[in-house]
Amino acid sequence: MTDVLALPTPALILDPERLEANAARMLAHCDVRGVTLRPHLKTPKSVDVARIATGGRMSTVTVSTLAEARHFAGAGFDDILYAVGITPNKFAEVAVIGEATGKTIVLTLDSVEMAAAVADSALNNPVLVEVDCGEHRGGRPADDEAMTEIARRLGTQCTGVMTHAGHSYATADTDEVARIAAGEVAAAVRAAERMGAAGAEVSIVSVGSTPTVLHAPSLDGVSEVRAGIHLFFDLSQYGRNVCALDDIAVTVLATVIGHNRAAGVLTLDAGALALSKDVGANAHLPSAGYGWVCDARTLEPLGLSVDVVHQEHGTVRVADPATYERLPIGTVVRVLPGHACLTAAGGYGRYHLTDGRVWDRIDGW
Amino acid sequence: MTDVLALPTPALILDPERLEANAARMLAHCDVRGVTLRPHLKTPKSVDVARIATGGRMSTVTVSTLAEARHFAGAGFDDILYAVGITPNKFAEVAVIGEATGKTIVLTLDSVEMAAAVADSALNNPVLVEVDCGEHRGGRPADDEAMTEIARRLGTQCTGVMTHAGHSYATADTDEVARIAAGEVAAAVRAAERMGAAGAEVSIVSVGSTPTVLHAPSLDGVSEVRAGIHLFFDLSQYGRNVCALDDIAVTVLATVIGHNRAAGVLTLDAGALALSKDVGANAHLPSAGYGWVCDARTLEPLGLSVDVVHQEHGTVRVADPATYERLPIGTVVRVLPGHACLTAAGGYGRYHLTDGRVWDRIDGW
């Protein structure tokens, strides 16, 4: 731990014990319910984390970019779901990844046009058809007439359906999350049944977001679930009662670079890039700001938030002047992130583990 | 241009003609006023852009990270101001950069403690003392008693003062920006005079933000100005009447990946990482969202904004169903960014120029 606190700041710190416990808990949760966990690797973007996330299985994972697909396929991962709608300008790259690695990239789409484009292309990748269960981003309603036409166009390439209840993040009420989870499952199962009745071979019924996977009353009819932030957790999940504070596995090491007593603030060298500008945690944890400032060694929260961020400055309001004595200029602190996926994607390129190991991560497209 | 529109998306597109015109305009503005432009390279993080930003001079620049300092010093740039408060845990890296490149890194600080720490260290870098002219982030008030003590501790390493009127972004009223600019100049000049009267050798009086540099009624007493976003501009600057829409030099190439007619939205493959979660542009341009969607070829705004972002999805509300016909799934568009510094830092690693050239950029620390 001492070495980690001496790193140049800002630095991205990962606690492997918390990570392993978080990953194991979700794997066990899915195992008990008889569903496969297809972890979302957009959160860690790291092969080392992905091995743990899959319990060593190294297959059946989710990604959000073709750069992630390329990276994980190249590292030996198989059955990689690219969970963002495919378009023809990405077909060539999908083919290259498959040919170069021999691994399977599963595609996602939600329109007759794209089903026809895939079917007419040289690609023979499996495809999941996306259902909109209420998030109103990608997908079509489960009862949409086009679902069976999409399946028909895809023929044997259609292997199932997927949906994502992103709207579960709108509430911190676990009963409400459970209702949304039930709706997520119902929409996916309904779409799968309709497509199956029309002759499609639907073997995969994929649902999930970390909150809905944890709170779903039943996963009957579901074959697999997707979750990612359960690996790291963050203040968004803590504020939504999805995790405990000491489940949060990723923090940002930062240095106090200034005291502005006249203005009543202190400044950290962790700003909009090191922490991200995501403020979603504040909806259910109004003190979250851009992150909670903690003692670097104990991770005890100091009652301070990063209140304002500029590109490389984080400004912390100070109510008690004793704070300046407690945190002299040059002190290192650790910041619990609001949204760990975006914080980790700030450009660090690596995780520094609290035990001294260094794990690479990728960014970009 | 045709080749650029065929790139995998999302991609970061840079118009070199707009960049060169923007850079030349600011250089001429400073030349006429008899001040040196010390461009802030945190915006482009690119050697190729930096050459243009300095008019080929390759010196007297500003950076916000030591990674930028290392990168630009290694590429031959000299007189590099690290405009973020220095702390002892960065001294070793500052020394390494200086020794490895022979270039000068100018440091910033605002406390007696850090002045003493620098003076007691092996570093002999020049130092600017930071003044708070109203932003209330770094710096001390110009009349703060400690300013002369800081100068005394630094001795000959103290070469001047710097301030940044970041609060100029709170208004779109150019008269109000001019008043803030006058205050910025007055604070820097006042601090320099007080430190000079106490025996310090103050040769550098550095002020600036793009709006205040452009609108300052007078720069008397100022030796140099700092600006960065003038290179690229964005909807934040457009909404504040600092630039014209067709001055914006950086855009994100994105693909329409889905139509969700039932929900009244379409989706792009450019989300929180490709565009950033910065919403500062909306304060003065309420339709800005996370960026304006434009025709990819003409850059004509289509009357659509990216209204919601997830990590890799940008969701666009569609009022007119004809939009779906105009923008079929698979269409590429270009998005004018809300805050170009953060958009460019999304992890792209390079700029694709509209003339086909590719310029590398760095990220991280």
- Tell me whether residues A260 and B84 touch, CB distance under 8 A: no
CA-nearest residue to A110 within chain B is: B258
Q: How far apart are CA A171 and CA A196, in angstroms?
A: 33
Which pLDDT does position B205 carry in this prediction?
A: 98
- Tell me whether residues B273 and A345 touch, CB distance under 8 A: yes
- Tell me whether residues A364 and B342 touch, CB distance under 8 A: no
- Tell me whether residues A308 and B342 touch, CB distance under 8 A: no
A-chain residues near B111 (CB < 8 A): 258-259, 329
B-chain residues near A329 (CB < 8 A): 85, 87, 111, 113-114
- Tell me whether residues A256 and B87 touch, CB distance under 8 A: yes
Picking from A113, A140, A279, the nearest residue to B329 by CB comes out as A113
Band (pLDDT 50/70/90 cuts) for residue B2 is: low
Picking from A90, A310, A346, the nearest residue to B137 by CB comes out as A310
Which pLDDT does position A2 carry in this prediction?
A: 59
Percent of chain A with pLDDT over 90: 99
> Mutate which of A68, A89, A331, A358 to test chain B, going by most B C-beta atoms within 10 A?
A89
Are A360 and A350 spatial neighbours (Cβ–Cβ below 8 Å)? yes
- Whether pLDDT at B1 is above 80: no
Which pLDDT does position A1 carry in this prediction?
A: 58
Which pLDDT does position B158 carry in this prediction?
A: 98
B-chain residues near A263 (CB < 8 A): 132, 136-137
CA-nearest residue to B332 within chain A is: A89
B-chain residues near A65 (CB < 8 A): 312
A-chain residues near B325 (CB < 8 A): none
Q: What are the C-alpha distances in Å from A238 to residues A169, A341, B252?
A: 12, 14, 33
Band (pLDDT 50/70/90 cuts) for residue B39 is: very high
Quick: pLDDT tens for B60-93. 999 999 999 999 999 999 999 999 999 999 999 9
Which pLDDT does position B265 carry in this prediction?
A: 98
Picking from B114, B136, B330, the nearest residue to A263 by CB comes out as B136
CA-nearest residue to B350 within chain A is: A364
Q: Quote the tokens at residue B187.
A: 């604070």
Are B53 and B32 spatial neighbours (Cβ–Cβ below 8 Å)? no
- Tell me whether residues B8 and A255 touch, CB distance under 8 A: no
Rounded to a whole number of angstroms, the distance from the CA of B127 to the nearest CA of chain A is 15
Which helix (H) or strand (E) is A178 found in, with range? helix A174-197
Average pLDDT for B210-222? 97
Q: How far apart are CA A311 and CA A271, in angstroms?
A: 5
Q: What are the C-alpha distances in Å from A159 to residues A128, B194, B352?
A: 6, 75, 37
Which helix (H) or strand (E) is A105 found in, with range? strand A105-109
A-chain residues near B88 (CB < 8 A): 330
Q: How far apart are CA B221 and CA A140, in angstroms?
A: 63
Q: Quote the tokens at residue A335.
A: 């910041």
Q: How far apart are CA A162 and CA A86, in angstroms?
A: 14
Which pLDDT does position A180 carry in this prediction?
A: 97
- Tell me whether residues A272 and B342 touch, CB distance under 8 A: yes
- Tell me whether residues B342 and A10 touch, CB distance under 8 A: no
Average pLDDT, chain A: 97
Percent of chain B with pLDDT over 90: 99
Q: How far apart are CA B66 and CA B309, in angstroms?
A: 31
Rounded to a whole number of angstroms, the distance from the CA of A245 to the nearest CA of chain B is 23
Rounded to a whole number of angstroms, the distance from the CA of A324 to the nearest CA of chain B is 12
- Give which of A128, A57, A72, A67 is closest to A103, Cα–Cα: A72
Band (pLDDT 50/70/90 cuts) for residue B222 is: very high
Q: How far apart are CA A49 and CA A22, in angstroms?
A: 11
CA-nearest residue to B309 within chain A is: A137
Task: Specify the 3-state DSSP secondary structure of B48.
Answer: helix
- Tell me whether residues A364 and B349 touch, CB distance under 8 A: yes
Whether a cis peptide bond, with omega within 30° of 0, leads into B10 is yes
pTM for the structure as a whole: 0.98
- Tell me whether residues A342 and B84 touch, CB distance under 8 A: no
Quick: pLDDT tens for A128-163. 999 999 999 999 999 999 999 999 999 999 999 999
Picking from B84, B273, B310, the nearest residue to A137 by CB comes out as B310
Domains of chain A, start order: 2-11+242-360 (2.40.37.20), 17-231 (3.20.20.10)
Which helix (H) or strand (E) is A68 found in, with range? helix A66-74
Q: What are the C-alpha distances in Å from A294 to residues A250, A254, A306, A327, B308?
A: 12, 10, 11, 11, 31
Picking from B87, B166, B278, the nearest residue to A329 by CB comes out as B87
Picking from B88, B93, B262, the nearest residue to A141 by CB comes out as B262
Tell me, rounded to whole angstroms, the distance of Cα A81 from its chain centroid.
Answer: 14
B-chain residues near A3 (CB < 8 A): none
Which pLDDT does position A154 carry in this prediction?
A: 97
CA-nearest residue to A89 within chain B is: B8
- Tell me whether residues A256 and B9 touch, CB distance under 8 A: no
- Tell me whether residues B347 and A363 touch, CB distance under 8 A: yes
B-chain residues near A277 (CB < 8 A): 276-279, 342
Rounded to a whole number of angstroms, the distance from the CA of A325 to the nearest CA of chain B is 12
Picking from A259, A274, A330, the nearest residue to B89 by CB comes out as A330
Average pLDDT for A62-68? 98
Beta bridge partners of B308: B315
> Mutate which of B90, B128, B256, B273 to test chain A, going by most A C-beta atoms within 10 A?
B273
Q: How far apart are CA B66 and CA A289, in angstroms?
A: 26
Are B281 and B293 spatial neighbours (Cβ–Cβ below 8 Å)? no
Rounded to a whole number of angstroms, the distance from the CA of B258 to the nearest CA of chain A is 6
